[in-house]
Amino acid sequence: MSKVNTTNRTIKTLAFLSLSLVLGACGQSATTTPSMGSGQQGIKMPSSLRNTSQTPGKWFVELAGDPTGLTAQSVSGQQTGFRAQAVAQGIKYTEVQSYDTLFNGFSVEATGAEINRISRMPGVIGVYPVRRVDAPRTTISPNSLAAPEMYYAKGMTGADIAQNELGLTGKGVKVGVIDTGIDVDHPAFKGRIVAGYDFVGDDYGKDGKYVPVPDNNPDDCAGHGTHVAGIVGGNVASNGFKGVAPEVSFGAYRVFGCEGSSYDDVILEAMERSVKDGMQVVNMSLGSAFDDWAETPLAKAGNRMIKKGVILVASAGNSGGDGQYSMGGPTMGDSVISVASVDNVKVDLAAFTLSDGSKIGYYPATGAPAPKKGTTLPITKGPKGSPTVANDGCDPYAANSLTGKAVLIRRGTCSFYIKATNAQKAGASAMVLYNNAAGYISPTVEGDPPITIPVVSVSDVDGAKIDGLIAGGVSMTFDGGQLTIANPTANASSSFSSYGMSAELELKPDIGAPGGNIYSTYPLNAGDGSGYAVLSGTSMASPHVAGAVALILQAYPKTQPKDMRGLLMNTASLRWYLNNGTLLTGLPDYVQRQGAGMVNIVGAYSNTVSATPSKLSLGESAAFATRNKVIVLKNTGARREVYTAFNYPALTVAGTTLAPTPNQSYATMTINGKNADADAGVEVVVPPFSEVELNVVVSPPAAAPDKAQYGGYVNLVSTTSPSLVVPYAGFKGDYQSLQSLGDLIIGGTKYNAPLLADDGDDALYPEGAATTTMPDYTFKPVEVTYSDGTKDTVMDAPYLAANFAHQVRTLTFDLLDGNGAVVDTLAKEEYLARNCTNDLSKQSDSCDALSLFKWDGKLTGGKDAPAGVYSLRLSALKPLGDPSNPAHTEVYTSQKFKVLR
C-alpha cells in the first residue's frame, strides 16, 4: 500500500516485502527441561547462586499523600508520626534520607522481615527496593579534531537552523544535568554553571563501597555528564563548538563517583534539589533497565517535577539487545519525555593503516589498553576464522600460536571478553574484532583477569576486507590516524535503544534524537586530553531533546511543561527500519523503539496545530478487539489548515520478549468513519482558532502472532504547514498470557523455576522436582566444600531463585506449614522489574538472570519459627492483572523442608 511520510514525499509501494527481512535478534537456543526423578536430590549449585546473606537491604518507604499537593507541615507531620509508630512497634531500621518535594517518605536500611513490618504500618502506601543504577556505559573514540563541533547531529534535528536562522540559543533558560557532574574548568561552560551539588564524592562506588562524601563542587571525573552537558548547550568561541542550546545556564548535580554505580535514593535527592534550585528543564541520561513502571519512586518523582513546572527529559535506556519491555527508571513517568536513540549520519573514528596503504576506522574496546602509537603487527586469524563463521574465537587457540600478532576475530556466539581472553592467552599482541552485522559496534571487554592487549572493533565490511588479505600477508600500524565516514546505520534507530511498551502497555519511548556516535565535550584531564570525545547511547539522545526544549522555551516561554512533550511529538519525523544494513525507506521502525520519530525543532517552532493526545495506548486486543479514540486538533493560527489523514502502520514486534523479530501484519483504521488505509486518505480541515475532533477506530492486525506488539501512526500530511503524527501501539492477544515466572538456564540446560536453594547441601531443587530426603535447615553458619572444590561458610537457610520473564505487579512471599496453610507473609513487593536474561552464563554486573527471596527463619513479629515442616510460596500478580481472577496470578510452591531447632 502506498503511503506518505511526514515530509510530504510519496513513498514507494511496500507491497509486502515477502518478509525478506533478515531477523537481527538472536533467540535462546532450545533446551529440554530435565525430568527430576524421585531419586534425585537436586542439581549442583553454580557459584553465582551461593548467596544467603541476611544483611539489611535499602528500601524506599512511601507515605500517603502526594507532596506536590500537601503543605510542608503536613509532610513533616506524617513523617514524624511514622518515626514514632516505628519506635513504638519496636521496628528496627536505619533512616538514610527523607524526601518532601517529589516523594513523601524515606530511604531506609532494613532486613526483609523488618521492611515487611514497615509495609503494614498505617499511612505506608508502598515499599520499593532502592535499585542500583549503573553508570551509563559508553565507549570513547579518542579523536581530536582541529575544530570540534557536533557537526552532523545538529543538522539531523534542525538545531543548526534554529540557531542560525531563527536566532534561538536557549538564553535565559536553566537546564539541570543529573549525571556524573560537569567539568567546571572546561571552556564550554565557563561562567554558565549557576547551581550544583556533588551528592557522593570521588570515591563513591570505588571497590564496591558506597559511602557518600558530599560537597558543593560538582566537578566531573568520569566524563559522561560533561559530554551530556556539551550536547545540551556547550559553547566554545575559540573553536566553534556549539551544543543544541549554546546560551543556556546549567545546574550540575553529581550522583556518580569517578567509577562505579549510584543508587535511586541519591538520584531522588538530586531531583528534589534541581526543583528547589529553580531549574526549568532537567536532563537525566540514566536509569535502571527493566524497571518498566510509571509507579516506581523515580518515575513518580519525574511526574511530580512536571507538576512543579519543571520539564524532565530522560533517556530511554540502552538495553535494546535484551529485548522487549526493557525500559526503566525516571523515563517511565507518564509525563516525562522519554528519548530513544538514532544513529548519527557520519562517524569520526580513530584509524590504523594496513600494509596496502588503506586506512581502517575503529572503536577501541572499553576495558582494554589503548593501542600504542607506532606499533606495527602482522595480522592473522584462527583456524575457524571467516566472514561466515558464527563462533570465531570462542574456543582456546593453540598455545603461543598468536605470539606477536594481531588476530582478526568475528563477532558472535560468545562474549567479547571470552574472545579477547583466548587471544591473549595464545600470545596475541592485539585483537581486531569485526561486526557480524552492518556497521560498527562499541565493545566492552571488562572482566577478571583484565585484558592487557589492545582490542579494537571495525565494521563488517572492513573485517571481510582484512580477512581476504591475510592469505597474502598483511600488517597493521597504529599511526594515530583518523577517518570521517558515512555511517552505514545513519538515521536508523540505534540497535542498543531500549524497547517499550511499559509494563502497563503505555506507549514508550516518546521521541527519538541522535545518540549513536556523538561528538561532544569531555573533561580536560580525561580521554585523550583534547576536551572532546565521541560517545554513543540514549544518554546522548536525551540532551538533544533537553536542548530542543530550551530553544522552544526561549521562543515560547509560556509553554506549559505538560504540553511540551506533545509539541515535540506532533512534528517528529519517522525513522525507517534497518534490515541487515539496508534502510527500508517508507517502512517505519517499531513504534516501541522510536516513539513518534526524530525530534524536529523547526517543525515544533513553526507549528500552529496541536494534536491531543499526542499518542494512543490501545491496550490488549483480547479485552478490546477494536479501540475507539478521539484526537482533538486545535489551531491557534489565523490560517485555515488542511490535512490528509492516513493510517501509517509500523512494523509489528513479534518473537519473544528476549528475542523480538519483525512482522508485517498491520492494524487497520478508520478516521471519522472513512477508510484511513486507502491511498486517498481522509481530508481534515481545521479552521483558524478552532478545534476539530478526529474519531479514530483502530482494529489490531488479525494475522499478527499472539503476544505481538503492533503500532503505527495517525499521519496528518499538509502541503503548507508541518505535517503531524500521533503514534499508536497495542498488544495482540491476551496480555495475561505472558509468563512472569520464567525458567532458568544453568550450564546450558533449562530447569523449571523458581528453585529452592540449599547452600548447606550444595543443591538446587527445580520446581516440581521430587525429593527422597527432605531438605533441612538450622539457620546456623556451616562450612561447606562445594563440588568445584571451593570452601565457604554459609548460613544454612532456605531461599528461592526466581527468574522474572516479565514484570510483576505484586509479588507475595509466603511461609506455609506442612499442610499448605499460610503461617506468615514474609514479604510483599510491588512493581517488580523483569530480569535481563534467563541464562546464568549471560549474567553480569549490569544484567541479572534471577532474583533471590530469602528467609531468615523468623516470623514477621521477630520470633523464630518453631521446628517443623514448611514450604515457601511465591504468588506473582501479572501487570494489569485482576487480583480476583486466579488466571492472572502465577503461583509457585517449593518442596517441603524441615526447620531444625
Measured in whole angstroms, the distance separating CA 616 from the mean position of its chain's CA atoms is: 22
The grid coordinates listed for 883 are 487480583
Q: What is the DSSP letter of 587?
A: E
The grid coordinates listed for 116 are 515487611
Q: What is the DSSP letter of 573?
A: B
Q: What is the DSSP letter of 532?
A: E
Residue whose grid cell is 556549539: 242
Going from the C-alpha of 255 to that of each of 3, 109, 292, 404, 891, the distances in angstroms are 46, 19, 22, 43, 39
Q: What is the DSSP string of 339-399?
A: EEEEE-SEEEEEEEEETTS-EEEEEEPBTSPPPPTT-EEEEEE-TT-STT-SSTT-SPPPT
From the list 134, 179, 291, 462, the catalytic residue is 179
Closest CA to 314 of 596, 511, 521, 594: 511
Instruction: Provide the pairing of β-strand 724-731 with 616-620.
Output: parallel
C-alpha triplet 497, 500, 504: angle, nearest 5°: 155
Query: How far is the C-alpha of 243 from the C-alpha of 170, rounded, in Å?
Result: 10
Query: How far is the C-alpha of 64 from the C-alpha of 72, rounded, in Å?
Result: 14
> Is the Cβ–Cβ distance between 567 and 329 less than 8 Å?
no
Closest CA to 513 of 486, 469, 547: 547
In the chain the first and final C-alpha atoms are separated, in Å, by 73
Query: How far is the C-alpha of 759 from the C-alpha of 784, rounded, in Å?
Result: 8
Going from the C-alpha of 782 to that of each of 52, 758, 901, the distances in angstroms are 12, 12, 15
Active site residue 227: no
Largest CA distance in the chain: 83
From the list 274, 539, 621, 851, the catalytic residue is 539
Instruction: Provide the pairing of β-strand 193-198 with 249-254.
Output: parallel
Active site residue 179: yes
Query: How far is the C-alpha of 196 from the C-alpha of 394, rounded, in Å?
Result: 47
Q: Identify residue 240 by its one-letter amino acid code.
A: G
* CB atoms near residue 18 (< 10 Å): 7
Going from the C-alpha of 741 to that of each of 513, 671, 790, 806, 835, the distances in angstroms are 35, 40, 31, 7, 10
Active site residue 141: no
* CB atoms near residue 47 (< 10 Å): 11
Q: What is the DSSP string of 742-791?
A: E-EEETTEEE-SSEEEETTTTEEEETT---SS--EE-SSEEEEE-TTS-E
Query: How far is the C-alpha of 321 from the C-alpha of 319, rounded, in Å?
Result: 5
Q: What is the DSSP letter of 4?
A: B
> Is the Cβ–Cβ distance between 265 and 298 less than 8 Å?
no
> Is the Cβ–Cβ distance between 141 and 363 less than 8 Å?
yes
The grid coordinates listed for 499 are 524497547
> Is the Cβ–Cβ distance between 872 and 750 less than 8 Å?
no
From the list 160, 220, 224, 520, the catalytic residue is 224
Closest CA to 592 of 738, 734, 736, 729: 729
Instruction: Provide the pairing of β-strand 781-785 with 791-795.
Output: antiparallel
Query: How far is the C-alpha of 94 from the C-alpha of 108, rounded, in Å?
Result: 5
Going from the C-alpha of 623 to that of each of 570, 649, 731, the distances in angstroms are 28, 21, 10
Which residues are marked as active site?
179, 224, 539
